[in-house]
Amino acid sequence: ALSLGSVYAHLPLEQVLEWDRSNPYRNWLAVNNAHPPLGDRLQLLAFYARHWRLETELDLNTKPVYVSSRWSRRFGLQVAPFLGMPLGILAAVALWLVGGVAGLAQISSLEWLWGDRGILIALIPIGFSIGTFLRINPFFPDIKPSNLKVEPSLPDLLKNPAALPIDSLPVQLQGKLLGRQGIGNWLGQDLILDTQTGLIKIHHCSQLGQLGLLPQSLRPSELVHRSITVKGWFRRGATPWIDLELLQTQRDHAVGGIRKVQSAHPIWSTLLASLAALLGTYLIVRGGY
């Protein structure tokens, strides 16, 4: 509710809450949240209020906007890394069946596939790797002047009920950086951008990845309460956020001009997918299960 609660002065909340009421994948995208989407909860409260003939603050009497719930390629790309793991298991079972048929047909070169647990274990990380590689380019498209939206209105970004995180809208926003200071935020896990039209969560990935606690020349947490410009990919999910590509301060001669922090989301996604593929390949070559 961070972004939703900060945009009420710029747009009717009913329009912003439409995503929570209408998006067919909202419950899947909120699976790691403690509560259902705010729009669904307010819709239920409005139903109770109408039953008891009470006036409501929000007009949620209208039916949610219809958004097709058919399996879409966009949502398939969104969950591709996680979908790749069960598909890897299915592929392993299919190879087991090939081995079983080969055994009945006395084809010794394929008979070893039957019941080989190494295949089953190995194809899980390989499926994850393939899904991640398929998602990287759509998830992190090149940010160019032709596709970059400069200073878009946050309410306008939030009100599309069909939006998904995979839509990856390149944006550039200015505002004040909020969050914790000190060692408790060295990994940049608690960063919020306060713009003229609302608040938005920022996700930062250190160029050192999980080793981001090691000494660095500049951390985002050191720029808290400073005016900054961020460039990255806006994502509309149960919790809207921006995956950071570049964060920089305004020109300040007192600290030596502009200070910049580069994020490394695409790099670490590629490394993670590569490591998963290498692990799966090693398990197949090793065998012996």
pLDDT tens digits, 132-168: 999 999 999 999 999 999 999 998 999 888 899 999 9
pTM of the model: 0.87
Q: Residue 34 to residues 5, 27, 151, 180: CA-CA distances in angstroms? A: 18, 11, 31, 22
The domain at 149-264 falls in which architecture?
Beta Barrel (2.40)
Q: What is the pLDDT of residue 79?
A: 93
Rg (CA), the chain: 24
Q: What is the pLDDT of residue 21?
A: 87
Q: How confident is the model at residue 7 (pLDDT cuts 50, 70, 90)?
A: confident
Phi–psi pair at 243, nearest 5 degrees? -80, 115
| End-to-end alpha carbon distance in the chain | 49
Q: What is the pLDDT of residue 109?
A: 73
| Residue 254 clears pLDDT 60, i.e. is over it | no
Where in the chain are the domains?
Answer: 149-264
Separation CA 176–CA 232 (nearest Å)? 16
Q: What is the pLDDT of residue 253?
A: 53
Residue spans of alpha helices (H) in 57-116: 73-78, 80-104, 108-111
Q: What is the pLDDT of residue 67?
A: 64
Could you write out the DSSP letters of every residue in 55-72? --SS---SPPPP---S--
Across the chain, where does the E strand assignment appear? 149-150, 169-179, 191-195, 198-203, 227-235, 241-249, 260-262
